[in-house]
């Protein structure tokens, strides 16, 4: 009897070791599975994949690493501890409990840090979901849609006010920013004449003033950058006229016309000290044949309309010039002929071209076109970080990266490591360049050092929506 018990002891010890190891692994894997389903609800609204929106970071991998091993380890732990002795169950439970916290931490390693929602605005009807533009003004965030503007408290997301456009009018233009608590919008009736301008107090949503351009005269172009704010003045442009007015009272301050009948205005911008205007001119001979084109940038005093400077960009052919940034002034230039160049041009406050950055380099191609369907406020994958321009680039052989250029002379400073993950949006918060990167079905917010291009932090963005055009403000 004694020999039988002695002979069975090594077997029980073996089963206990197997049972404790299996119980410990269960303790590690169980938090992985539980937290994987928790983040599915908190980050993806309970479902993800295909058309349901992005999945939490590494969701499928964590599920496979936890669910299937648990299906084997739980029965194994129970059987092994049963074969050992009754008291082994207590040791097994202790081993599992002790390993729960390491499993909790292991999930953070696999999944990565996750941002938490502070608030989100409610969804609108399907036909209303396109946002025309957003202002960040004081303590509110103002969202413009086709039928009006709505403000939300920046800290809580509570709706502060809502302003609906009169009659059945729709939004056709808005200023890029709101300054001194005032934003500018323009709206049109069903006739398509974008000629009614309003100034909105962003703190209250009240209309400060409204004016309608005279019938028969040119109206605002239904394109981006038709309205601008410069200090205490505002301005609007038509195809052949720009007018400055008081920002808070709408009183006309000055008017300026195009340089010649063959010219038309293309974009309008404002800084604290200047109204900036893009002008495209077609030169013709006496036989009314086109013999050349020129692209001009003109600057005006916001209060008086006095022309401060005029610069000919010296482009070749019928080029396209788009506004990228007003302060500092950066333009995207695309020449149309077969060997035409594509570049970003930076100008200083006196209108001198300080940098020309090629955007068609095969190793660092920069996409300069508008990334949104909105005609009110464009969005490009380019941002200005102090004296550095940072842009999303893509090589001929694939792969996305960031590249930094010095605005003072256009010198290339750095290029980040290439990745297959698409960079959907980019902005500068005053300290870091922030990018929104899509990785398979996951969005990640990364902060980048603008002086070196090195990544500082990376966090998973919770996805409760199915938005193919995310934007950073």
Task: Please write the tens of the pLDDT for every residue from 307-327.
Answer: 999 999 998 888 889 999 999
Assessment of whether the complete model's pTM goes beyond 0.85: no
The torsion region of residue 226 among left (phi > 0), alpha (psi -120 to 50) and beta comes to alpha
Task: Please write the tens of the pLDDT for every residue from 173-190.
Answer: 999 999 999 999 999 887
Residue of 332, 449, 347, 333 whose CA lies nearest to 407: 347
Task: Please write the tens of the pLDDT for every residue from 78-88.
Answer: 888 888 776 77
Q: Tell me the average pLDDT across 278-286.
A: 81
Q: Tell me the average pLDDT across 219-227.
A: 82
Q: Within 13 A of 13's CA, how many CA atoms are on the CB side?
A: 6
pLDDT of 286 strictly over 70: no
Task: Please write the tens of the pLDDT for every residue from 378-416.
Answer: 888 999 999 999 999 988 777 889 999 999 999 999 999
pLDDT band per the 50, 70, 90 thresholds, residue 191: low
pLDDT of 468 strictly over 60: no
Share of the chain above pLDDT 90, in %: 39
pLDDT of 464 strictly over 80: no
Residue of 393, 414, 417 whose CA lies nearest to 404: 414
As a whole number, the mean pLDDT across the chain is: 84
Q: What is the pLDDT of residue 1?
A: 45
Task: Name the pairing type of β-strands 433-439 and 241-246.
Answer: unpaired
Share of the chain above pLDDT 70, in %: 87
Using a 10 angstrom Cβ sphere, with 0-12 exposed, 13-18 middle and 19 or more buried, the burial of residue 247 is buried
Cα end-to-end span (Å), the chain: 80
Q: Tell me the average pLDDT across 6-31.
A: 81
Q: What is the pLDDT of residue 192?
A: 72
Q: Tell me the average pLDDT across 357-363.
A: 90
Longest dimension (CA), the chain: 123
């Amino acid at each position: 009897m004694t020999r039988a018990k002695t002979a069975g002891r090594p077997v029980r010890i073996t089963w206990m070791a197997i049972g404790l190891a299996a119980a410990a692994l269960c303790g590690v894997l169980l938090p992985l599975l539980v937290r994987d389903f928790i983040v599915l609800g908190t980050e993806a609204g309970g479902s993800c994949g295909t058309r349901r929106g992005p999945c939490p970071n590494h969701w499928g991998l964590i599920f496979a690493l936890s669910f299937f091993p648990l299906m084997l380890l739980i029965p194994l732990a129970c059987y092994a501890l049963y074969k050992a002795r009754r008291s082994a169950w207590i040791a097994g439970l202790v081993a599992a409990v002790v390993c729960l916290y390491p499993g909790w931490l292991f999930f953070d390693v696999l999944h990565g840090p996750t941002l938490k929602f502070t608030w989100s605005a409610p969804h609108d009807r399907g036909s209303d979901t396109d946002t025309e533009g957003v202002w960040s003004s004081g303590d509110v965030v103002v969202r413009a849609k086709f039928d009006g503007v709505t403000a939300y408290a920046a800290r809580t997301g509570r709706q502060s006010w809502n302003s609906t456009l009169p009659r059945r009018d729709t939004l056709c233009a808005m200023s890029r920013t709101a300054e001194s608590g005032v934003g500018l919008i323009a709206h049109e009736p069903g006739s398509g004449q974008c000629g009614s301008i309003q100034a909105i107090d962003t703190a209250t949503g009240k209309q400060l003033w409204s004016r309608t351009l005279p019938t028969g005269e040119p109206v605002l172009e239904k394109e981006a950058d038709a309205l601008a704010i410069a200090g205490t003045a505002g301005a609007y442009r038509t195809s052949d006229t720009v007018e400055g007015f008081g920002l808070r009272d709408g009183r006309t301050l000055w008017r300026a016309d195009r340089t010649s009948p063959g010219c038309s205005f293309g974009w309008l911008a404002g800084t604290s000290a200047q109204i900036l205007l893009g002008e495209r001119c077609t030169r013709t001979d006496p036989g009314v044949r086109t013999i050349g084109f020129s692209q001009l940038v003109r600057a005006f005093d916001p209060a008086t309309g006095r022309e401060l400077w005029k610069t000919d960009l010296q482009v070749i052919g019928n080029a396209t010039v788009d506004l990228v940034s007003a302060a500092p002034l950066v333009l995207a230039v695309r020449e149309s002929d077969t060997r035409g160049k594509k570049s970003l041009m930076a100008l200083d406050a006196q209108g001198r071209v300080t940098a020309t950055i090629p955007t068609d380099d095969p190793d660092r191609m920069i996409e300069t076109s508008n990334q949104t369907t909105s005609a009110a406020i464009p969005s490009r994958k380019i941002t200005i970080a102090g004296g550095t321009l940072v842009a999303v680039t893509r090589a001929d052989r694939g792969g996305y990266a960031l590249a930094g250029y010095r605005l003072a002379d256009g010198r290339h400073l750095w290029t980040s490591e290439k990745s297959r993950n698409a960079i959907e949006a980019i902005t500068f918060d005053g300290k870091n360049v922030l990018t929104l990167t899509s990785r398979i079905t996951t969005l990640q917010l990364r902060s980048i050092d603008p002086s070196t291009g090195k990544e500082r932090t990376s966090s998973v963005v919770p996805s409760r929506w199915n938005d193919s055009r995310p934007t950073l403000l």
